[in-house]
Each structure stands twice: as structure tokens, then as C-alpha cells.
Amino acid sequence: MRRIACLIVTLALATLHIAPARAQANLPPHAWLFGAWTGGLFPPPSALSAQECLALPVVIFTRDIVMRAVITDQLYAQRLVETARVTADGAEFRFTRPVAEAPAGPFNLSPSSAPNDVGFGCSSPDYLRVQRHGENEITFPGCTDFPYPLVRCSAR
């Protein structure tokens, strides 16, 4: 009877160790980027509290969307991730083409037939290469809109 109880406990403990590994296997390749980042548009601040950083991040990475602050707009520009792959020194993203938006009003100055091609200042608005410089620092090489490194906003 004790052998059966020990076997059951051993199997239960073994499945507990397998469950986190299975959950981690479901993460996308760019999961290490998830969260809010500051800098990029300006040199990253040397001392910034988590509350200050999270109040206005410059770039936000999620599973399906990458959002970036645009200096001339109150809203974040959102790009839907089509593909993401890990490289030796970071990650590469391809974004879906944005859909043309209808004019917001009769005096909208932007043409309604042109899609909103807000990218990252890279060679293509639908492509982003992220280069990792450490656990909490990245750059977007070749992207003129982000000449400075970005640092991760800490949770605390």
C-alpha cells in the first residue's frame, strides 16, 4: 500500500514539473520582449521609477501587437504582428499591412485612401528588427525614428 501511495505522489510531482515546461513551450518566440519600453526617441533616462516609466512608455510589445508612441498623435500607433522570429542577437517582426481608414470628419486633412503607414522609421514600415543588448536593453538598428536604445520599464 505504501508503494502505491509513493508511486502516486511521485507521478503527481512529476506532472507538476512538466506543466510549467509545457506552458513555456506555448510562448511565442518574442516573449522575452513582452512589456513596456522607454527611450528610443530620446536617450533612456538613467533614473526612472516604474510608475513614471509605465505612465508613458514609448514601445509596448504584446503577443499579437506592437504599439509605439507617435510624437504628433495622442494615440499609440498599433501594428499587428504577422510573423515573429528569433535571431542570434534579437528578433525580427513582419507586420500586416494597415487597412485604409475612413476620414474622421469633413475637415480631415489626411487622405482617406492612403493607409496609415506608421512604422518605426526602418527600411519598410512593415518590418522591424530588434537587437538585444542585455536583459533590459534593446535597439532598432537602421530605424531612424529610434536612434537611441530602449530600456524595459521595471514592474517595481
Residue-wise pLDDT for 77-92, tens only, equals 999 999 999 999 999 9
Percent pLDDT > 70 in the chain is 71
Confidence (pLDDT) at 24: 56
Ranges of each domain in the chain: 28-98+116-156
- Measured CA to CA, the distance from residue 138 to residue 136 in angstroms comes to 7
pLDDT in tens, 93-140: 999 987 655 555 666 555 444 445 688 999 999 999 999 998 899 999
Mean pLDDT of 131-150: 94
Residue 6 in this model has a pLDDT that exceeds 90:
no
Query: Using CA of residue 107, residue 111, residue 115, residue 118, what is the dihedral sign?
Result: negative
pLDDT, residue 81, reads 94
Q: Is the pLDDT of residue 17 over 50?
A: no
How far is the C-alpha of 96 from the C-alpha of 111, rounded, in Å?
20
- Single out the residue of 117, 125, 83, 119 nearest to residue 98, CA to CA: 117
Q: Is the pLDDT of residue 48 over 70?
A: yes
Instruction: Output the CA–CA distances (angstroms, integers) from residue 131 to 2, 86, 140, in the order listed.
Output: 55, 10, 6
Q: What is the pLDDT of residue 33?
A: 95
Across the range 54-74, mean pLDDT stands at 92
Question: What's the CATH number of domain 28-98+116-156, 2.40.128, 3.90.550, 2.70.98, 2.60.40?
Answer: 2.40.128
Q: Nearest-CA neighbor of 85 among 152, 32, 18?
A: 32
User: Residue 56: its pLDDT value, please?
Assistant: 86
